[in-house]
Amino acid sequence: MVDLLSSMTLLQIIELGPDTVKVFRQYEQITGSCLLCNNLFDSLESVASQYSLKVDDFINSLQTSNE
Amino acid sequence: MIRTIDARGLTCPQPVILTKRVMDEKSGEEIVTLVDNPTSLENVCKLASSQGYTFVVETQGLEQHIHMTRQDSDISTEMIPTKDMTILVKSQYFGQGDDELGAVLIKSFFYTLTEMGPELQNLIFMNGGVHLTTEGSPVLEHLQFLEQKGVQILSCGTCLDFFSKKDQLKVGQVTNMYTATEILFNASKTLVL
């Protein structure tokens, strides 16, 4: 999978790597909200900010999901 | 033609992914996505807006049918490139600076032309450019390929005479300044090398 950027939307990320859906589902346990329902068109950066997540950890988790 | 995506029973992001996949085909057709939950409805509508589609939501019982059309859907026929581009080649080298590099670049350029769309109509070779249409040219096979595809290839007669190459022309026809100028004037797109 290509390198993910914090400026990418969740939709762009799952298009690039369908396996990232599993990671978003895991994060939903932390956020308590369906990210792929409510934030599909938001950037990873803004989602991380909204839910006080570390964006670098978020990217790493997504990046490794397809490897 | 209408493309219908049945996303009933599916949760986000599936309705959006399926709809986007059809949009990415750029077929210019009307797309109708069937959904049965508010989140999917909202997200497919957001997708439609973000991709430049106008949409109408039709409610049928517990389902919503999102009818999406792109305003430029007629563009698929309008954007078919017209065959009206002319390239004037004035040298056997691409650009100025170093002839060795220019020779490499010109080969690359003509190879690239063979991979391009059908817009190109005329290639006119003037001055040192006629070295490319005559015996020993490094791009002869590309030019012959282009000629087979319908591109008119013209070499300046005066230039061929000057370089004593009139009997060495290997592709296209000989032309004169009047014809070449007329073609350049009438072309809607002209590239000069």
Q: Which residue has the higher pLDDT, B185 or B105?
A: B105
Phi, psi at A15, each rounded to 5°: -70, -40
Contacts of B193 (CB under 8 A, 6+ apart): B87, B88, B89, B90, B91, B94, B106, B109, B129
Gap between the Cα atoms of B86 and B119, Å rounded: 9
- Chain B 36-55, residues with CB within 8 Å of chain A CB atoms: 39, 43, 46-47, 50
Question: What is the ipTM for the molecules in this complex?
Answer: 0.87
| Tens digit of each residue's pLDDT (9 = 90 or more) over B16-52 | 999 999 998 866 678 999 999 999 999 999 898 888 8
| Tens digit of each residue's pLDDT (9 = 90 or more) over B72-119 | 644 444 444 456 789 999 999 998 889 999 999 999 999 988 887 678
pLDDT at residue B72 in the model: 60
pLDDT at residue B29 in the model: 78
Cross-chain Cβ contact B16/A11 below 8 Å: yes
Q: Is the predicted pLDDT of residue B2 greater than 90, yes or no?
A: no
Cross-chain Cβ contact B46/A40 below 8 Å: yes
Q: Which pair of tokens denotes residue B16?
A: 């959006």
